[in-house]
Structure 1
Amino acid sequence: MDNVVLIGKKPVMNYVVAVLTQLTSNDEVIIKARGKAINKAVDVAEMIRNRFIKDIKVKKIEIGTDKVKNPDGREVNVSTIEIVLAK
């Protein structure tokens, strides 16, 4: 779980810095996001690839669905993405 960056509501550059920091000590980093944060996760991965580390590879992309209980107690489906970047 060391090399995982969870994407949330912070600005994109915060997550870019977190990924770059992880890449100094690891050969691969996993970027995870759910729901509305998925587009931000893709932005982070693309910024790393295009602006910072040109030779980094997208090793794997997984998409899926999590069942989450909302405040009403009903189960709702939330989309998920997991992007693995490797040196």
Structure 2
Amino acid sequence: MEENNQYEVIENKSDDENYIYIGKKPSMNYVLIINSRMLNGLDEMTIKARGKSISKAVDVAEIVTNRFITDANDDNIKISTEVIDRDDGSKTKVSSIEIVISRNN
């Protein structure tokens, strides 16, 4: 039961179209999503990633700002550490990053 609630929270978070959560999909999938949302009128997108996905998040941000939306900035970057509960009850720390890409209008 608790696992289902956890997944529902994650699904609700991803409903906000200004956020994109980097996972296991290829980088270009995320690039195309960001590109299409920003071309359809969004002035700002936030890329979020944890752990091993951080390097992919940086790659996605660089591809978007250097190749697709060249009038966008990725100046607002926030790094942090999140404490996550494991299945065995112990806690572990995971690095996370948020990169805000905004259009220069």
Same fold (TM over 0.5): yes
Please state which band the TM-score falls in when normalised by the shorter chain. over 0.9
- Measured on the aligned residues, the alpha-carbon RMSD in Å equals 1.0
Match among 56, 65, 84 for residue 49 of structure 1 = 65
Question: Among the aligned pairs, what percent are the same residue?
Answer: 48
TM superposition score normalised by structure 1:
0.93
Tell me which residue corresponds to 1:86.
Answer: 102
Alpha-carbon offset, residue 32 of structure 1:
0.4
Amino acid at match of 1:7: I
TM superposition score normalised by structure 2:
0.78
Gaps of 5+ in 2: 1-15
Equivalent residue pairs, number: 87
More strand by share: 1
Tell me which residue corresponds to 1:64.
Answer: 80
Q: Distance in 2 between matches of 1:53 and 1:2?
A: 18
Amino acid at match of 1:34: R
After superposition, residues 2-81 of structure 1 pair within 5 angstroms as 2-23=17-38, 24-81=40-97
More helix by share: 2
Larger RCO: Structure 1 or Structure 2 (Cα < 8 Å, ≥ 6 residues apart)? Answer: 1
Gaps of 5+ in 1: none
Give structure 1 regions of 4+ aligned residues with deviation exceeding 6 angstroms.
none
